[in-house]
């Protein structure tokens, strides 16, 4: 009884302004507290039934007993910290009590319509009064305690209300259309109850948009922005502000999707063609692609291209390539069965004709410029391809690789106007000779013609990509780095060849000045010919040099043998040179050294390595050098493309949701942008805090135990996750043996000096002396299928392990995304397709048969959930259990995670590993085809096998046995992770959950509206879809000669980008609306689809010509509709303004007619058209008349 009295007294005291019992009230609180109590009916402590929660009436005021007065605790005192806002522990207790009261609905006369606890779901779906503060998110409210101040000062920047499109009234209308009473009822019918998460996510309360940016800036400020001259493929640069503001920070460029619909994508296609042309011109190659993920990935792709070309398994890597590039190549080789050997050029022997290719760096990682023409000639004589990793800026004054016969050229375009970004995102380039074009990985823009014969752009040779060829694709690459490639292209357009040459000369001259100063100071330079990088052996104490560098806040590269590396860039000023010279003890200044050098400043320009060939001669690189012109050019291109600023982009499996301005704001902050990926970790504490925060939240969302952020795309995440599974299975089969062997076989060798033994056996280890399963020496040889393989190069150490060379089988449903089989093939697994039943779910009987057939070799199953057919499969838990019982692991593709957040967790219902498409579920924009992020989450048993890095140690667990390195940067594309961080923090647990609920609600509402006009191909067992659904358009081929492509093109006339076309089922359309679109936009799209169905009906009924009709002739351009000649059997209004919401003042006009895909692939052109294509038509008339 006394306890109950104390609780009641505490509540009354707290609400009337007191802190702890006996404390004086804070000024002004007493009256507010009394008014608040009065509004609640005067029954302080009464529950909904008018009695206290403990079942007793509250004490009257005359029974309250005051103790002796206590001094108010000072800030910082433990009594202050114990309370809420400094009010003491009693206030905290009051908050808990009042929170329980509010959770039951509050006092009866003040409850919102719909009642208390028994009607909670009804409240959830109505505009309700929020009793609980801090819940946020999706119209649900909720949290731990209500405070009077929150009633008086309500939040006005609740981000979830901005992110989620439908208002409460619209949600109710959609629910009524579906015949359900509440969102919760819909979730129960759409999602299997066996996997539902029955508790809230344990996450912090949401933070408003304004406050979150301040919080994030405080975190970013923990990063120390020193001047970094580390190099190794990452260089500071000057980002032109017109490009930063009008492209990088422009939603019209950032929110576009991959240009699969070229009629509404001509702007970014032209820009990417500029990028390809720039790369080809500068490198001297024939054909380039539209970017890859990073330089390391590009090098690994080059290795695989060589292997595909001549089927040889050995691949040479020059040990003077960047260490992260070597690590990525070795890791990829390990899983694909290619043998990599690190050698210097003079050590490479091609006479055995067993080498597929050779990779070298030009200039190399130490800065040396070397003549590789003899190496290339020797390689070609024996049928070996030559691959060169290089630097675009260096090639502006340096002889390009294409001129000495290289077959593949690759590298990073980062220093063309893209900040350091702590490692990414950056666009890698990849160029080849013409005979290798069909083996080249990644997307490629080509020139074709449209229906009017006009030269236009499209993605070329798509039949070699993963979404068509699946496991036989040239690569698993899907997302690339289109946005960053566009930035680099505009950098080239803005500066032109003269501007780029001037920048390169400036960088080279600065390096020459520094080299002369270092020589005068008594330091030894290891190379006489260089572009921007010096390798120095100090003539004094290295520690002294580094201490002086720390005083100036400057970073250098530190080699394992004590040498220092200095790489300069375009931002280096005279003051920077003076600081570096002072650090190395040079008494002279940069100005005095330059005056005394004379002809010595020529450097490369006075050698045979000087570039003599012209580049960037095309008109586009010689027309836009003023800010006025470049801004107008970018705007013209932007206006040609549909993006989220125009209308909904309903691409299934792509989750084109809102990319908010608040989320995107931090990507250009210097605290995130201007930091080198290889700085000491104490200079990147802000990033490290952000990684930990984001990892914690993603683990809670997914049910996994550990996250790796290294994969910088979904496809890379798939490859990394499968590699982790394979590493785990190998270790599990021979755990003690592998561990013992690794201890004996690890050779501590410096990076750049490692020579892998050709037979993978370290000298002094007898072939007969292998370790038994307990680590003791034994005499029995391992089975013939076991081979030594290098796992990775880590901190100068090659890690070996015994690998089972049997084909490990990966089961993949036929409905899976094309990257799944392509990634499994890349991870060295054999693919076994699994059939899909008539409901769009995995055929369980076929699955069981295949599991039984392959149980001895079963490695994993790759499944997407909800399935790519748009349904939550009821048997997902049984599928996972079946695989685990037979020794396999479950890889769950996270592409459809937007339907699961807060509702179910992959780690709970049986998945072992997933990648998360942060550019889908967690709001990183698609950027016209990249950047993306594909971090992987794993359960505890897979955590030791997550990726590592050769330069920055990211696996700190002593038991770690990492799979290797999958990306060039330790944490992948670090600079875009703040986008997802802001999204999660501003949405909070309830907001994230409600986003998934509304995504499912929107999809079901659209399916309901369209079901009378189109067949919904798959539904769940209770008749509902997940967050996306498939329309079956195949019957129209027979009835009206109309195909899915005709509907896709006709939608452009209504102002919409097409849904995903002919995937996962050929001849269908897959629609995903996301939670960001409101009901009005959903209705507009549905109206457009219904109108198109009526047009098809007119063809079916013979009222419209089967060949010349609005669908077959779509899209209709402005030139077409306004032409003086109109001979079509339907009106211009039907062509261009088919519904009332399509208005002249707001209509988006496709800029070209329908393209000719076949012509484009048969007449492949992947650089800018010749100058004649840009010549005025009047010029030809003038010549004719003359």
* Residues 629 and 738 reside in one and the same domain: no
pLDDT at 605 over 70: yes
Distances (CA, A) of 676 to 237, 303, 461, 1013, 1035: 12, 27, 36, 55, 56
Which of 268, 363, 261 has its CA nearest to residue 318? Answer: 363
CATH code for the domain of 598: 3.40.640.10
What DSSP line would sit under 309-369, residue for residue? HH---EEEEETTS-HHHHHHHHHHHHHHTPEEEEE-GGG---TTS-EEEEEEEES-TT-B-
Which residue among 85, 111, 137 closes a domain?
111
pLDDT at 593 over 60: yes
> Mean pLDDT for the chain?
84
Rg of the chain in Å (alpha carbons)? 32
pLDDT at 789 over 50: no
> pLDDT-derived band of residue 790, with 50, 70 and 90 as boundaries?
very low
Q: Secondary structure of the chain: what % helix, strand, coil (to 5)?
A: 40, 15, 45
Mean pLDDT of 585-609: 88
Which of 135, 635, 195 has its CA nearest to residue 120? Answer: 135
pLDDT at 507 over 50: yes
d(CA 164, CA 657): 9
What DSSP line would sit under 611-637, residue for residue? --S----SGGGGS--SHHHHHHHHHHH
> pLDDT-derived band of residue 461, with 50, 70 and 90 as boundaries?
confident
Name the token pair of 1049: 């093109």
pLDDT tens per residue across span 1040-1066: 999 999 999 999 999 999 999 998 999
Strand partners, 915: 893, 936
Q: Which residue has the higher pLDDT, 104 or 534?
A: 534
pLDDT tens per residue across span 547-565: 999 999 999 999 999 999 9
Q: What is the 3-state secondary structure (H, E, C) of 209-232?
A: HHHHHHHHHHHHCCECCCEEECEC
Mean pLDDT of 1017-1025: 95
> pLDDT-derived band of residue 1163, with 50, 70 and 90 as boundaries?
low
Helix then strand count (H, E) for the chain reads 38, 30
Residue 673 confidence (pLDDT): 98
Sort residue 45 into left (φ over 0), alpha (ψ -120 to 50) or beta.
left
Cα three-residue angle 959-961-964, rounded to 5 degrees? 150
Q: Residue 71 sits in which domain range?
A: 2-111
pLDDT tens per residue across span 222-275: 999 999 999 999 999 999 999 999 999 999 999 999 999 999 999 999 999 999
Name the token pair of 759: 């037979």
Mean pLDDT of 620-647: 98
d(CA 1095, CA 1107): 13
Cβ-contact 471, 821 below 8 angstroms: yes
pLDDT at 1138 over 80: yes
Cβ-contact 657, 1072 below 8 angstroms: no
Flag the least confident range among 104-113, 952-961, 988-997. Answer: 104-113
Which of 747, 738, 757, 729 has its CA nearest to residue 797? Answer: 747
pLDDT at 152 over 90: no
Residue 819 confidence (pLDDT): 84
Residue 599 confidence (pLDDT): 61
Which of 1045, 1113, 1052 has its CA nearest to residue 1088? Answer: 1052
* Residues 610 and 746 reside in one and the same domain: no
Mean pLDDT of 1055-1080: 96
- The b/e string for 501-523 (b: 16+ C-beta within 10 A; e otherwise) is bebbbebbbbbbbbbbbbeebeb
- Name all contacts of 774-777 with Cβ < 8 Å and 24+ positions apart: 774/736, 775/736, 775/737, 775/739, 775/740
Q: What is the DSSP letter of 268?
A: H
* Residues 430 and 551 reside in one and the same domain: yes
pLDDT at 1146 over 80: yes
d(CA 422, CA 672): 7
> pLDDT-derived band of residue 602, with 50, 70 and 90 as boundaries?
confident
State what percent of residues in the chain have pLDDT above 70.
78
Cβ-contact 1025, 1016 below 8 angstroms: yes
Mean pLDDT of 415-434: 98
d(CA 1080, CA 716): 37
> pLDDT-derived band of residue 1164, with 50, 70 and 90 as boundaries?
low
Residue 147 confidence (pLDDT): 74
pLDDT at 137 over 90: no
pLDDT at 1019 over 50: yes
pLDDT at 887 over 70: yes
Question: Structural domain tally of the chain?
Answer: 4
pLDDT tens per residue across span 709-756: 999 999 999 999 999 999 999 888 733 222 322 332 232 222 333 333
- Tokens 């924009």 identify what position? 925
* Residues 433 and 306 reside in one and the same domain: yes
* Residues 616 and 742 reside in one and the same domain: no
Name the token pair of 937: 């989450």
Sort residue 137 into left (φ over 0), alpha (ψ -120 to 50) or beta.
left
d(CA 187, CA 207): 26
Would you say residue 853 lies in a domain?
no
Cβ-contact 963, 729 below 8 angstroms: no
Which of helix, strand or coil describes residue 69?
coil
d(CA 1097, CA 1091): 10
Cβ-contact 257, 649 below 8 angstroms: yes
Distances (CA, A) of 120 to 117, 135, 188: 5, 15, 15
Name the token pair of 1046: 């005709």
* Cα torsion through 554, 557, 563, 567, rounded to 10: -80
Cα three-residue angle 291-317-504, rounded to 5 degrees? 50
Residue 957 confidence (pLDDT): 77
Cβ-contact 90, 20 below 8 angstroms: yes
Name the token pair of 948: 């590592």
Would you say residue 282 lies in a domain?
yes
Cβ-contact 256, 928 below 8 angstroms: yes
d(CA 72, CA 652): 60
Residue 262 confidence (pLDDT): 96
CATH code for the domain of 1093: 3.90.1150.10
Flag the least confident range among 257-261, 417-421, 959-963, 1148-1152. Answer: 959-963
Which of helix, strand or coil describes residue 132?
coil
d(CA 694, CA 208): 18
Residue 80 confidence (pLDDT): 38
Alpha helices, DSSP H, located in 793-875: 819-826, 844-854
All residues at 6 or more sequence positions from 1179 whose CB lies less than 8 Å from its CB, including other chains: none
**Both ends of the chain: CA-CA distance in Å?**
112
Residue 1161 confidence (pLDDT): 66
In 10 A of CB 184, how many CB atoms?
15
Strand partners, 747: 798
Would you say residue 936 lies in a domain?
no
Which residue among 605, 634, 663 closes a domain?
634
Would you say residue 172 lies in a domain?
no
Distances (CA, A) of 416 to 92, 600, 797: 55, 28, 34
pLDDT at 668 over 70: yes
* Residues 746 and 615 reside in one and the same domain: no
Would you say residue 612 lies in a domain?
yes
Cβ-contact 816, 862 below 8 angstroms: yes
> pLDDT-derived band of residue 1185, with 50, 70 and 90 as boundaries?
very low
Cβ-contact 207, 215 below 8 angstroms: yes
pLDDT at 43 over 50: no
CB-count exposure of residue 62 (10 Å: 0-12, 13-18, 19+): exposed
Flag the least confident range among 288-292, 611-615, 792-796, 1157-1161. Answer: 792-796
* Residues 273 and 400 reside in one and the same domain: yes
Residue 476 confidence (pLDDT): 63
Would you say residue 875 lies in a domain?
no
Flag the least confident range among 388-392, 477-481, 638-642, 898-902. Answer: 477-481
Would you say residue 169 lies in a domain?
no
Supply φ then ψ for residue 1009, to 5 degrees. Answer: -70, -35
Q: What is the DSSP letter of 1175?
A: S
Residue 85 confidence (pLDDT): 40
Would you say residue 277 lies in a domain?
yes
Residue 195 confidence (pLDDT): 97
Residue 515 confidence (pLDDT): 97
Is pTM beyond 0.85? Reply is: no
């Amino acid at each position: 009884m006394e306890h109950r009295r104390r609780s009641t007294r505490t509540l009354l005291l707290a609400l009337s302004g007191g802190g702890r019992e006996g404390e004086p009230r804070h000024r002004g609180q007493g009256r507010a507290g009394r008014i608040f109590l009065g509004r609640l009916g005067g029954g302080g402590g009464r529950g909904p039934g008018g009695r206290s929660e403990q079942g007793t009436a509250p004490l009257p005021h005359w029974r309250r007993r005051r103790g002796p007065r206590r001094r108010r605790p000072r800030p910082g005192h433990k009594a202050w910290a114990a309370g809420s806002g400094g009010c003491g522990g009693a206030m905290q207790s009051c908050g808990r009590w009042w929170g329980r009261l509010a959770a039951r609905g509050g006092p009866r006369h003040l409850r919102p319509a719909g009642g208390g606890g028994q009607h909670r779901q009804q409240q959830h779906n109505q505009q309700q009064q929020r009793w609980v503060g801090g819940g946020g998110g999706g119209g649900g409210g909720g949290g731990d305690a209500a405070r009077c101040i929150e009633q008086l000062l309500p939040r006005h920047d609740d981000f979830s209300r901005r992110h989620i499109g439908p208002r409460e009234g619209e949600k109710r209308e959609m629910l009524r259309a579906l015949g359900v009473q509440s969102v919760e009822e819909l979730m129960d019918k759409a999602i299997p109850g066996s996997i539902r998460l029955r508790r809230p996510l344990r996450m912090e309360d949401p933070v408003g948009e304004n406050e979150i940016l301040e919080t994030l800036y405080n975190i970013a400020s923990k990063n120390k922005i020193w001047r970094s001259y580390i190099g190794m493929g990452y260089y500071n640069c000057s980002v032109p502000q017109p490009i930063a503001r009008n492209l990088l920070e422009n939603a019209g460029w950032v929110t576009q999707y991959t240009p699969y619909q070229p009629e509404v994508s001509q702007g970014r296609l032209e820009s990417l063609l500029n990028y390809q042309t720039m790369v080809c011109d500068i490198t001297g190659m024939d054909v380039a692609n539209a970017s890859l993920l990073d330089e390391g990935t590009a090098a690994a792709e080059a290795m695989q291209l060589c292997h595909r070309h001549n089927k040889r398994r050995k691949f040479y890597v020059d040990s003077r390539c960047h260490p992260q590039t070597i690590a990525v190549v070795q890791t990829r080789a390990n899983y694909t069965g290619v043998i990599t050997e690190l050698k210097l050029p003079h050590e490479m022997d091609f006479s055995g004709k067993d080498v597929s290719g050779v990779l070298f760096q030009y200039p190399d990682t130490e800065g040396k410029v070397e003549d590789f023409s003899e190496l290339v000639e020797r390689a070609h004589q024996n049928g070996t391809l030559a691959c060169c990793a290089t630097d675009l800026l260096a090639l502006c004054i340096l002889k390009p690789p294409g001129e000495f016969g290289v077959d593949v050229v690759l590298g990073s375009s980062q220093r063309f106007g893209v900040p350091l970004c702590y490692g990414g995102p950056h666009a890698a380039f990849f160029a080849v000779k013409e005979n290798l074009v069909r083996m080249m990985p990644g997307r490629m823009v080509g020139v074709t013609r449209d229906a009017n014969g006009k030269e236009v752009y499209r993605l070329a040779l798509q039949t070699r990509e993963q979404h068509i060829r699946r496991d036989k694709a040239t690569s698993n690459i899907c997302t690339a780095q289109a946005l960053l490639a566009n930035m680099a292209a505009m950098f080239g357009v803005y500066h032109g060849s003269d501007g780029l040459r001037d920048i390169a000369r400036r960088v080279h001259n600065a390096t020459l000045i520094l080299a002369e100063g270092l020589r005068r100071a008594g330091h030894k330079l290891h190379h006489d010919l260089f572009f921007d990088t010096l390798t120095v052996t100090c003539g004094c104490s290295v520690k002294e040099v580094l201490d002086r560098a720390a005083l100036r806040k400057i970073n250098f590269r530190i080699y394992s043998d004590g040498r220092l590396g200095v790489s300069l860039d375009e931002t280096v000023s005279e003051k920077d040179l003076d600081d570096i010279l002072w650090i190395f003890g040079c008494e002279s200044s940069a100005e005095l050294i330059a005056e005394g050098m004379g002809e010595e400043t020529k450097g490369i320009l006075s050698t045979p390595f000087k570039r003599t060939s012209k580049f960037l001669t095309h008109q586009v690189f010689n027309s836009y050098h003023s800010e006025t012109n470049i801004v107008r050019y970018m705007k013209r291109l932007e206006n040609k493309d549909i993006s989220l600023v125009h209308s909904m982009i309903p691409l299934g499996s792509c989750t084109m949701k809102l990319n908010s301005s608040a989320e995107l704001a931090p990507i250009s902050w210097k605290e995130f942008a201007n930091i080198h990926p290889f700085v000491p970790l104490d200079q990147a504490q802000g990033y490290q805090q952000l990684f930990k925060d984001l990892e914690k939240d993603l683990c809670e969302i997914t049910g996994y135990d550990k996250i790796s952020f290294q994969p910088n795309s979904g496809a890379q995440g798939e490859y990394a996750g499968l590699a982790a599974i394979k590493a785990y299975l190998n270790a599990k089969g021979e755990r003690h043996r592998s561990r013992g062997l690794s201890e004996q076989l690890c050779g501590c060798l410096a990076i750049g000096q490692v020579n892998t033994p050709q037979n993978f056996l370290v000298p002094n280890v007898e072939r007969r002396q292998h370790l038994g399963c307990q680590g003791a020496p034994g005499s029995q040889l391992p089975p013939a299928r076991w081979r030594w393989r290098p796992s990775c190069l880590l901190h100068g150490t090659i890690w070996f392990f015994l690998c089972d060379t049997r084909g490990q089988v990966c089961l993949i449903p036929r409905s899976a995304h094309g990257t799944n089989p392509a990634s499994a093939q890349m991870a060295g697994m054999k693919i076994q397709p699994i059939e899909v039943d008539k409901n769009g779910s995995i055929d369980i009987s076929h699955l069981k048969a295949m599991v039984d057939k392959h149980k001895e070799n079963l490695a994993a199953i790759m499944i997407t959930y909800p399935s790519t057919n748009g349904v939550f499969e009821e048997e997902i838990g049984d599928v996972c259990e079946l695989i685990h019982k037979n020794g396999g692991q479950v890889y769950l593709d996270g592409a459809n995670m937007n339907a699961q957040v807060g509702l179910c967790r992959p780690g709970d219902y049986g998945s072992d590993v997933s990648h998360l498409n942060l550019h889908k579920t967690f709001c990183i924009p698609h950027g016209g085809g990249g950047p993306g992020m594909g971090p992987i989450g794993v359960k505890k048993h897979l955590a030791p096998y997550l990726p590592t890095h050769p330069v920055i140690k990211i696996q700190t667990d002593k038991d770690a046995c990492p799979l290797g390195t999958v990306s060039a940067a330790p944490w992948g594309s670090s600079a875009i992770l703040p986008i997802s961080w802001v999204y999660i923090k501003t949405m909070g647990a309830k907001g994230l959950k409600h986003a998934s609920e509304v995504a499912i609600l929107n999809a079901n509402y659209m399916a309901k509206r369209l079901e009378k006009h189109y067949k919904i191909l798959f539904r769940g067992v209770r008749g509902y879809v997940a967050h996306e659904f498939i329309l079956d358009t195949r019957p129209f081929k027979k009835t009206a000669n109309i195909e899915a492509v005709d509907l896709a093109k006709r939608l452009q006339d209504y102002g919409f980008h097409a849904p995903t076309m002919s995937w996962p089922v050929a001849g269908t359309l897959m629609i995903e609306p996301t939670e960001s679109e409101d009901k009005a936009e959903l209705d507009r799209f549905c109206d457009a689809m219904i109108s198109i169905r009526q047009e098809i009906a007119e063809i079916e009924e013979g009222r419209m010509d089967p060949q010349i009709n609005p669908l077959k002739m779509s899209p209709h351009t402005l030139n077409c509709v306004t032409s003086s000649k109109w001979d079509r059997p339907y009106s211009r209004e039907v062509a261009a303004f088919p519904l009332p919401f399509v208005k002249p003042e707001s209509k988006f006009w496709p800029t070209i007619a329908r393209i000719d895909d076949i012509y484009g692939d048969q007449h492949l052109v992947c650089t800018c058209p010749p100058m004649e294509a840009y010549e005025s038509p009047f010029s030809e008339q003038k010549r004719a008349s003359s």
